[in-house]
Amino acid sequence: MNENLITAFIELRVTPTSGAGFDKIAERICQYPQVKSLRLMSGGYDFAITVEEKNIKDVAFFVSEKLSTIGGIVATSTHFELKKYKEDGIVIPYESCDNREVITL
């Protein structure tokens, strides 16, 4: 993961297409380069997507202008990674310095 990018986790609820099920929607979503992973899930949502973008605005644009235009998508829920503690079985060392940028409106 590029440290200059933010990571968003997007849950999608969809209506599967006749004859193709979830596969046709998944094929379309996989075409976007910012989509780093796509999984069919059990539970309240059908797909879990991991997206990397430059900023929150770009994630919002991706959801509203790209994902929402795909036929069959009923609902989305977007979550942002705030801090990473462990990845791929490796605990990430604690950094005493907070390098996050201040966001002002």
What is the CATH number for 85? Answer: 3.30.70.920
Is 65 contained in some domain? yes
Yes or no: say if 58 and 73 are a contact pair by the CB < 8 Å rule. no
Cβ contacts of residue 89 below 8 Å, gap of 6+?
A: none
pTM above 0.75, yes or no: yes
Is 43 contained in some domain? yes
Is 98 contained in some domain? no
Q: What is the Cα–Cα distance from 47 to 60, expressed in whole angstroms?
A: 18
pLDDT on residue 29: 97
Q: Which residue has the tokens 């009923």?
A: 74
Cβ contacts of residue 59 below 8 Å, gap of 6+?
A: 6, 8, 51, 53, 78, 80
Is 100 contained in some domain? no
For the chain, how many structural domains are there in total? 1
Structural domain that includes position 85: 6-91
Residues 10-54 have pLDDT tens digits of 999 999 888 888 999 999 999 999 999 999 999 999 999 999 999
